[in-house]
Amino acid sequence: MAHYARVNPENIVTYVTPIPNELITDENGVEHEERALDHLYNSIPDSRGDRWIQTSYNNNFRTRTAGLGYTWDESLDAFIQPKPYESWSLNEVTKSWEPPIPVPTSNDTDSEYVWDEESRSWIHPTLS
């Protein structure tokens, strides 16, 4: 089963759908993207102004499975999750958002810090 993400002109994922293999493979079992695109444009005609980009349900390519609201970054060949906070920046190697300061480490395995954008710091909910 192949999965495709509908990407609008702003490169935002607006829809993700599976396509059964029998619709996109030839008699030798080889996938053909043009068959997938024909199927998508014919079954969802209002998507003709958008692009369809294959995504991996198992995260085997394009870094992660596309999700609604994710951004398609063609230069990184990746689907990027929505930016969680304005102060965070994209690590182009991991293709993930990172805070301006690392999460504090703790010996307490039950400790969970949360990001506070106003102070741009990590806070411990039980200590604040």
The rounded distance, in Å, linking the Cα atoms of 26 and 14 is 29
- CA 4, 53, 35 angle in degrees (round to 5)? 70
The whole-model pTM stands at: 0.84
- Which residue type sits at 56? S
Q: Tell me, what's the pLDDT at 127?
A: 62
Helices (H) and strands (E) counted in the chain, each on its own, are 2, 9
The rounded distance, in Å, linking the Cα atoms of 3 and 109 is 37
Q: Tell me, what's the pLDDT at 61?
A: 87
- Each residue's pLDDT, cut to its tens digit, for the chain (128 residues) gives 999 999 999 999 999 999 999 999 999 989 999 999 999 999 998 887 789 999 998 888 888 999 999 999 999 999 999 999 999 999 999 999 999 999 988 666 556 889 999 999 999 877 65
